[in-house]
Structure 1
Amino acid sequence: MLALPLLVSSAPTVQANSDDGPPQVWLVEFAPGADASALESAGRELDYSIRHDFERIWNGVSVEADPATARRLERLDLVDQVWSDVVFTGPGRVADGLHAPLESDPEAAEPELAQAIETTRADDAHARGITGDGVKVGIIDTGIDYTHPDLGGCFGPGCRVTVGADFVGDDFDSDDPDHAEPVPDDDPADCVGHGTHVAGIVGANGKVTGAAPEVTFGAYKVFGCEGSTSAEVVMRAMEAALDDGMDVVNLSLGQPFQWPGYPTAEAADRLTAEGVTVVASMGNDGEAGVYSGAAPGVGEDVIAVASTDNSAQRMSAAYVAALDRTIGYRILAATPEPEAGTATDPLVWLGRACADDVSEGDVNGKAALVVRGTCTFKEKYERAVAEGATTVVIYNDRSGPFGGGGVEDLGVPMVTVTDTDGEDLRDLAAIGKAPVLEFTDRTVLVDLPRAGLASAFTAYGPAPDLSFKPDLAAPGGGIWSTVPVAEGSYAALSGTSMSSPHVAGAAALLIEQEPQLKPRDVRTRLANSAKPVPWSENSTLGELEAAHRQGTGVINVIDALDAQTYLYPTGVNTGDGTGPRTFELTLTSRDRVARTYELTHRSTIATTGDEREPGFHAAEPKVTFEPKTLDLYPGQSATVRVTVEPNAELPTGSVFGGRITARPEAGGESLTAAYSGYQGDYLAIPVLDHPEYPRLAAVVDQDAETEESDYRDVEDGEAFSLAEGPDLAALIYLGHQVSAMDVSMENADTGTVVAWEREQYLPRSPGPDDAIGLHLEDLVAERPGALEPGRWSLTVRVLKALGDESNPDHWEQWESPVFNLVE
């Protein structure tokens, strides 16, 4: 369970601040016309300090203050809102084995990145001489290993990595109280690997070739060598990228389940208004279901990128004589790496290897073969080692390769293999052949089961305000690219972190060809020309992947470069309801000849039911156009009215969508826009309906560093001391994002009401059991003396996403049982 105090506009991943914890940082957003000097004047009686003024990219400042002061700042007329400085989880180090193993022969690795740029047709642009020359791309990430020969080998004027900075220092971790204060310097060297990999996809030029191999880079390091970063740091890097004149900025990071109004998303939108094309990951929370997109990707003007899997992924190779073939393997994070030339002991089938499972074989002095699933990798690893295993081999319980972490090194290697290889090994063990893995210094290409389809991890839209996201897609699963030289120079990683830089590189190619293109034009050209992908759950049925998961599809650089007409907007939110919805699309010709366009429609798969574990439905909507065909002359614009009537068979609560294509009758490139919509009353989505929450609980234990808490149930008639505790908390589970949350307490004897300040734009609880802890001690700190001894109850009210606060039907409410407060 996550513990969260009632913070101003905070997210479920944020932990409480304390005197001994990280700096208490808030993002203060001003009302129109206000600025930092006005705040200093109006708030001079308050105890806070301004850390940074984001005047150029966001109308606000970051401040350091305690939560009570942050609330008092929000009451000032010149302040529109105070946001918590949320945590952006770190990507994990390549060297820790969180991604694919490293390649000893980089020349053999080239096909994987080449496959990806062939998919996007960036390689065809290179054949035309369009390589990104003269375009500046900012990489806001873990830094770049600029010593890598494929990235230029140096840093500074005349190098490919021309500018940049480290905004945090190697030891920074926003989640660690001892290292949460940035220690910036001028050297953006990468000690993680993620940023170097991203930069290589954008523009490597050497053993591997990126999407735009002649761009120059700005390197903006926002992560230390371990751990997380903060919104404040990411926004400072955005500001620097603007100051340094970047043409394109790539943000392969994000905070999931967020609203488009969160400061990082708004700052990214401001960058686009300043002429910078901003590309960001949609997020890797696809398995968390619908509405899982991340900020800044959900920003209105940001190009949010979904991921499709590459056709194959390179992995370290082990030879199995009993199979007479080489198989691919990955090292599970934190366990020892097997040395080339060594071999495992004979493999013995142990089973699922959860703590309470019966052992299905004697693995003492042998290598344990285990299947993935039911319990954690840590539990399986510890169980196998406790039974004497000398190596642990875990195979997938679903298709394809996989990786992971969360284990503590016990001195025994743990490697992962695919489902098919694992089942073959198990069959051999079952007939007494006791297979052995012989580790080599070579690699092998392993087919990915979702090749060309949406990656299992890629997040679903739409955004919580139903705005259309993601915008488009690119290869992100199994991408081979550069990593720091000290870590082997090349590796395969997966994520929307890898799909986003393909689009950033594609944007650079467009800008090289037409430097006058505005960010909106870049997104329009790329989205209009994107090609759809089949539904990943069953690609043989002829259905297309949900529009709110793939956008308009996978980018096609050549078609984007050749496009002579725009279809705008590229993604449309049709809202909610049960009847027809109408919207307008505009075609604008840059062509030299007149063309006749015919409008056509194709639906995409709809998601249904539980937003965390959605089902799917293929009900075809009825779509009409007014006009159905139109003549477009050079320089002319024309508007088409599109009416979408959802199929009556579509279940209430579904998110549906489709593709609108303008096809030229006499040749030329087709242009596509996409739409999504909600079937039913969006305000009817329940929020406070978890079977175990809301509930009142007492705090049993609280971690001094992270402020995460353990809880117990409250006994009938139990008394809570305002001075001595135990602390009391309301545990709230948000089933869906909410526009606002009000929390108050009422004295059952006197009728006195004491309230916290209103929360706004809260993400939903990420997992099925993640609840927010609203702690009584925070109210006491904010309203000293307001709570007197007596009988009290606590009330939580939430305003549904897009709800009207003046309409009582748009609120849900929970009231706690009465409890006793004593001195």
Structure 2
Amino acid sequence: MSIKNRFSEIMFMQKTLNPRGGFVISPRPFVLPDKRNRAIIDSKQADILIKYLEKNPNLELDFSDKYGYMEYKPFSVVPSAFSSWGLTEELNIKPEISAPGQLMLSSFPVNLSPYVVMSGTSFSSPYIAGIAALYIESFGKQSFDQLKIAFMNYAVPRKDRNHLLAPVIIQGAGLVDAFNMLKATSFVYPPKINLNDTVHFNGSHKLNIYNSGRKEMKYKLSHIPAPSINGYNNTSPRNYINLEYFTKQNQYANVQFDNDQIAVPPRSSVEVSVTFISPRELPMDGHFFYSGWLEIAPLDENMSIMTVPYAGLADDARSLPLFQTPTFPALVSLFANKTIARIKEEDPIKTFTLKLLNETIGLYDYPSVVLNLATPTQMIITEILDDKQSLLGWVKNFTGIESKKLQIERVSWDGLIYNKEEFGIPAPNGNYFLRIKALKMFGDINNKKDYESWVSIKFAIKRKA
């Protein structure tokens, strides 16, 4: 079959054309800069073509431009697959706002290309900055908090690829709406509500609704729930590729207002009490996050709707898994060619010589542990245990992680033992274990019960003479 035109190859989704030798691309909507001309069709169109090809295997497809084309933007208003998820390590709402940042046509260094199509926060951040500049131009100098309130109040909650409202923990307040921001005369404080976990839950909150206009405004208050979502599973904690959504009535938070219709005089504010009741029927072993929005809708249809996002964890944060077991942590061997091999429990006891393997990169034959965090932690400690798993001391200077959350880390032991009595004494030849301890969320550093621990399989140290 021929799938070419005078410009370039046609790219099909992998699952449809890979078996037939077509040009393969990732199904994720992310494209790197490429000087070659491309064309993409969606999976529905591809399915139709595949059916024709199955009936007529010798069919030649012609994609010449003489028939014209329509620009296709299926994901222009939904969260991107590569967007980061919240909440923060203190269960605060992040992200707070969403902006266009996928497949953006933008300026680029002239020596490379004056314009390029790329994705990421490098493109969504300038979008936000531009709107902030327009807002300041219209309303005068504003504080950061004032700007954030305006951005979040008038953001628009969007649906995701499942045609359900995307949870707050992926889109924040919603997609930024510059037009409604610039004509706003009403605001709500606070711009977001953090409900924390079940242990630290506070269900009573106040909303202050401000009317900066010249006439009285009336508002209707209501609740927009988002699907509760499980960020963890048994095989890959915090795997956001196959998230489990819960959308039944009792799997949302219950929200009650002391008054769901209010009138606010011009240049005045009114306080409204809001009571939250966490979802009642979410599985307790699923570590579910729930979220939604409080909607403040002016009865004047010419005025824009405001929303306030909220989010919480329907569980005790200290029960969240810290390690991505059974895959991580793992004891590994390092090799001179910079490869890493996992040491399995059924393997013979691995012996480490502590000798130099690669002088160029300073790589040694050290016992090493790789770990991948499923939940952020304030502290990680690596302990050295003897053959009977009694504590000998600690690995030097490994008391925390400064790099990105959820990133694979490697802890290597150089054969020196650090403890309260001795500062860096060489470990004698023999058998050892490494124990990784991580502090649970909201845990007490001095409470042993607030740590999650993992012990490596047994290994040996044998220095060569």
Q: TM-score range by the shorter chain?
A: 0.7 to 0.9
| SS of alignment partner, residue 449 of structure 2 | helix
| SS of alignment partner, residue 549 of structure 1 | helix
The one-letter amino acid paired with 1:394 is V
Give 1:203's aligned residue. none
The answer to whether the 8 A contact 1:395-1:421 is kept is no
CA distance in 1, matches of 2:112, 2:410: 41
Q: CA deviation at 1:655?
A: 1.1
The answer to whether the 8 A contact 1:586-1:637 is kept is yes
| SS of alignment partner, residue 477 of structure 1 | coil
CA distance in 2, matches of 1:560, 1:593: 19
Give 1:681's aligned residue. 316
The answer to whether the 8 A contact 2:188-2:207 is kept is yes
CA distance in 2, matches of 1:655, 1:761: 26
Query: Closer, same or farther in 2 for the Cα pair 1:434/1:490, shift >3 Å?
Result: farther
Q: Among residues 727, 745, 749, which one is paired with 2:384 in the alignment? A: 745
Give 2:359's aligned residue. none
Query: Closer, same or farther in 2 for the Cα pair 1:473/1:754, shift >3 Å?
Result: closer
The one-letter amino acid paired with 1:608 is N
Give 1:393's aligned residue. 23
The one-letter amino acid paired with 1:651 is P
Q: Among residues 753, 760, 777, which one is paired with 2:414 in the alignment? A: 777
Give 1:811's aligned residue. 451
Give 2:400's aligned residue. 759
Give 2:14's aligned residue. 372
Q: Any idea what the Cα deviations from partners look like across 1:54-77, whole Å, max 9, x if unmatched?
A: xxxxxxxxxxxxxxxxxxxxxxxx
CA distance in 1, matches of 2:391, 2:231: 41
Give 2:290's aligned residue. 656
The answer to whether the 8 A contact 2:438-2:453 is kept is yes
CA distance in 2, matches of 1:515, 1:480: 30
Query: Closer, same or farther in 2 for the Cα pair 1:779/1:711, shift >3 Å?
Result: farther
Q: CA deviation at 1:666?
A: 5.2
Query: Closer, same or farther in 2 for the Cα pair 1:488/1:816, shift >3 Å?
Result: closer
| SS of alignment partner, residue 759 of structure 1 | coil
CA distance in 2, matches of 1:716, 1:433: 57
CA distance in 1, matches of 2:67, 2:117: 14
The answer to whether the 8 A contact 1:701-1:709 is kept is no
Give 1:460's aligned residue. 85
The one-letter amino acid paired with 2:306 is L
Is 1:587 matched up with 2:227? no
Is 1:727 matched up with 2:382? no
Q: Give the TM-score normalised by the residue count of structure 2.
A: 0.78
Give 2:225's aligned residue. 603
Give 2:255's aligned residue. 623
CA distance in 2, matches of 1:632, 1:605: 32
The answer to whether the 8 A contact 2:30-2:103 is kept is no
Give 2:276's aligned residue. 644
Q: CA deviation at 1:522?
A: 1.3
CA distance in 1, matches of 2:217, 2:12: 62
The one-letter amino acid paired with 1:639 is E
Query: Closer, same or farther in 2 for the Cα pair 1:449/1:663, shift >3 Å?
Result: closer
Give 1:533's aligned residue. 158
Give identity over the alignment, percent: 21
Alignment RMSD: 4.0
The answer to whether the 8 A contact 1:732-1:772 is kept is yes
Q: Any idea what the Cα deviations from partners look like across 1:134-190, whole Å, max 9, x if unmatched?
A: xxxxxxxxxxxxxxxxxxxxxxxxxxxxxxxxxxxxxxxxxxxxxxxxxxxxxxxxx
Query: Closer, same or farther in 2 for the Cα pair 1:395/1:817, shift >3 Å?
Result: closer
The one-letter amino acid paired with 2:181 is A
CA distance in 1, matches of 2:429, 2:87: 47
Is 1:567 matched up with 2:188? yes
CA distance in 1, matches of 2:322, 2:224: 33
1:399-414 equivalences in 2 (<5 Å): 403=31
CA distance in 1, matches of 2:8, 2:214: 66
1:290-309 equivalences in 2 (<5 Å): none
1:188-203 equivalences in 2 (<5 Å): none
CA distance in 2, matches of 1:722, 1:480: 52
1:240-639 equivalences in 2 (<5 Å): 341=6, 372=14, 392-394=22-24, 403=31, 417-430=41-54, 431-436=56-61, 444-483=69-108, 489-534=114-159, 536-539=160-163, 543-577=164-198, 581-608=203-230, 610=232, 611-612=238-239, 613-618=242-247, 619-639=251-271
Query: Closer, same or farther in 2 for the Cα pair 1:663/1:765, shift >3 Å?
Result: closer
The answer to whether the 8 A contact 2:394-2:417 is kept is no
The answer to whether the 8 A contact 2:203-2:276 is kept is yes
The answer to whether the 8 A contact 1:393-1:414 is kept is no
The answer to whether the 8 A contact 1:402-1:416 is kept is no
CA distance in 1, matches of 2:368, 2:410: 6
The answer to whether the 8 A contact 1:583-1:641 is kept is yes
The one-letter amino acid paired with 1:798 is A
The one-letter amino acid paired with 1:646 is S
The answer to whether the 8 A contact 2:8-2:37 is kept is no
CA distance in 1, matches of 2:25, 2:333: 42
CA distance in 2, matches of 1:779, 1:509: 59
Any gaps of 5 or more consecutive residues in structure 2? 233-237, 357-363
Give 1:789's aligned residue. 429
Q: After alignment, is 782-791 or 803-812 more displaced?
A: 782-791
Give 1:47's aligned residue. none
Any gaps of 5 or more consecutive residues in structure 1? 1-319, 328-337, 348-368, 407-411
Give 2:361's aligned residue. none
CA distance in 1, matches of 2:391, 2:82: 50
Q: Give the TM-score normalised by the residue count of structure 1.
A: 0.47
CA distance in 2, matches of 1:785, 1:684: 37
| SS of alignment partner, residue 516 of structure 1 | coil
Query: Closer, same or farther in 2 for the Cα pair 1:481/1:445, shift >3 Å?
Result: farther
The answer to whether the 8 A contact 2:331-2:342 is kept is no
Give 1:352's aligned residue. none
Q: Any idea what the Cα deviations from partners look like across 1:43-101, whole Å, max 9, x if unmatched?
A: xxxxxxxxxxxxxxxxxxxxxxxxxxxxxxxxxxxxxxxxxxxxxxxxxxxxxxxxxxx
The answer to whether the 8 A contact 1:741-1:759 is kept is yes
1:210-225 equivalences in 2 (<5 Å): none
CA distance in 1, matches of 2:385, 2:117: 57
Give 2:334's aligned residue. 699
CA distance in 1, matches of 2:311, 2:101: 23
Give 1:186's aligned residue. none
| SS of alignment partner, residue 752 of structure 1 | strand
CA distance in 2, matches of 1:785, 1:439: 74
Query: Closer, same or farther in 2 for the Cα pair 1:492/1:371, shift >3 Å?
Result: closer
The one-letter amino acid paired with 1:537 is R
Q: Any idea what the Cα deviations from partners look like across 1:602-633, whole Å, max 9, x if unmatched?
A: 11122125231321112332111234444434
The one-letter amino acid paired with 1:674 is P
Query: Closer, same or farther in 2 for the Cα pair 1:371/1:478, shift >3 Å?
Result: closer
The one-letter amino acid paired with 1:721 is T
Q: CA deviation at 1:682?
A: 1.7
The answer to whether the 8 A contact 2:8-2:38 is kept is no
Q: CA deviation at 1:818?
A: 3.9
Structure number with greater CO (CA < 8 Å, separation at least 6) is: 1
CA distance in 2, matches of 1:480, 1:623: 42
Q: CA deviation at 1:463?
A: 1.8
CA distance in 2, matches of 1:702, 1:639: 65
The one-letter amino acid paired with 1:776 is W
Query: Closer, same or farther in 2 for the Cα pair 1:790/1:433, shift >3 Å?
Result: closer
CA distance in 2, matches of 1:562, 1:502: 18
| SS of alignment partner, residue 462 of structure 1 | coil
The answer to whether the 8 A contact 1:599-1:663 is kept is yes
